[in-house]
Amino acid sequence: VFRSEERWEDLAGALERGAQAAPGRDEKIAYGLRLARLAKKRLGDRARAMAAYERVVEIAPGQPEATSHLVDYFTETEAWER
């Protein structure tokens, strides 16, 4: 419903809640990746996207999509201390 009505912020909230409530690792990763993509592409909220990718990497170190986006972000912003 949120997607069809382009209620992106509501969808982001639902994805965040889903990631927290998901019982399994794979579900948490899937929710996190969807949230990151949505935050970056639809909401234009890069910080929120990177936070979602960071949560994915905490669950699944080396997850390709999340790792790639984080490397690009940290390289661009020179945020090496994180």
pLDDT, residue 80, reads 64
pLDDT, residue 81, reads 65
pLDDT, residue 47, reads 93
Which tens digits make up the pLDDT trace of 13-62?
A: 999 999 999 999 999 999 999 999 999 999 999 999 999 999 999 999 99
70 is written with which tokens? 């984080």
Contact 11, 2 (CB under 8 A): yes
Torsion of CA 6, 31, 66, 54, to 10 degrees: 100
